[in-house]
Amino acid sequence: MASHTARTPPGREVTAQRLQTSSARQFYDPDVDIDWAAPLHPDKFFVPEQLVTLYGTELWAGMSQRQRLELSKQEMINTVSVGIWFETILMQLLMRLAYRGDPTSEHVQYAYTEVAEECRHSTMFAKLITKAGGRPYRQHPRWYLIGHTLPFVLRGPSMWAATLMGEEVFDVLQRDTMRDESLQPIVRAVMRIHVTEEARHVRYAREDLLRTLETSRRVEREFARYVAAQGAMLLATSLTRSAQYRRAGLDPRQARAQAWANPHHREVKRHGAERVVTFLSEAGLIGGSTERVWRRSGLLG
């Protein structure tokens, strides 16, 4: 693979104009493009069976099919709940970028476009939780407090590093989900919309990360490294949230311990993170003391 840092990305205005055109051509309205009235299938998983965190464990072997289906539902609800939390922070970051920028520029106008798409995504995720008959998961109070401060703290490389950590891992796993024809059709429909539009968001973030790194100071690059590593750990712990096991009728301490130690789940995490790990490594944002955090998270092989 050619190094991402070996090329200079197109200018901001060129990229933003292309993304604006793509957004106009491939626009989705979840209220119209998803059949929310369609019934759920009683025997279909909500995420691919092999992506469930306990898949392959001793606990999984002793679960009934009904318990496995319920756990897949709770893990789907947990994932989109994290997505809503992250996208709400991202929208604030983009609006602050736009507030400081030139509203006549293509770059700022695409920021507004992305905010509009993220609004629809968050609404779509919320509707999916309701359709599944579940309740959203809430972040730990510490992370809610941190989430309040991030829009005021993250700038330049750290903003885009955080954005990619919140987008790319879930994007890979959602691509696996939308391709699985054995799943709940409504889940696949939601993931297809999110993946299609998220591809533009990833490109916007990747290219601006590379641009901002070119003029950043060392302290800014080190902070971006730290932010990316903390994002990796947050993702890893969020995927094995104790509450999702409790709601599925399992002992949360036993289930979380088995999930965290599960070699198959660790491989799923590495699979989800492989693309962003490669990109951030080539951009010089994984290394030094932060590499240990990445390895503890299980996202780095």
Q: Where are the alpha helices (DSSP H) in 101-184?
A: 106-131, 141-153, 156-179
Query: Could you give the CA distance from residue 301 to residue 295 in angstroms, rounded to a whole number?
Result: 7
Q: Where does the chain show beta strands of DSSP type E? A: none
> Does a structural domain hold residue 5?
no
> Does a structural domain hold residue 18?
yes
Query: Could you give the CA distance from residue 51 to residue 165 in angstroms, rounded to a whole number?
Result: 19
Q: What is the CATH number of the domain that holds 74?
A: 1.10.620.20
> Does a structural domain hold residue 36?
no
> Does a structural domain hold residue 4?
no
Count the helix, strand and coil residues of the chain and give each as a percent rounded to the nearest 5.
Answer: 75, 0, 25
Per-residue pLDDT tens, the chain, 301 aa: give them.
333 443 556 688 999 999 999 999 998 999 999 999 999 999 999 999 999 999 999 999 999 999 999 999 999 999 999 999 999 999 999 999 999 999 999 999 999 999 999 999 999 999 999 999 999 999 888 888 999 999 999 999 999 999 999 999 999 999 999 999 999 999 999 999 999 999 999 999 999 999 999 999 999 999 999 999 999 999 999 999 999 999 999 999 999 999 999 999 999 999 999 999 999 999 999 988 899 999 999 998 7
> Does a structural domain hold residue 1?
no
Cα separation of the two ends of the chain = 18
Q: pTM for the whole thing? A: 0.93
> Does a structural domain hold residue 110?
yes
> Does a structural domain hold residue 2?
no
Number of folded domains that form the chain:
1
Residue span of the structural domain in which 288 resides? 10-30+41-297
Query: Could you give the CA distance from residue 237 to residue 9 in angstroms, rounded to a whole number?
Result: 33
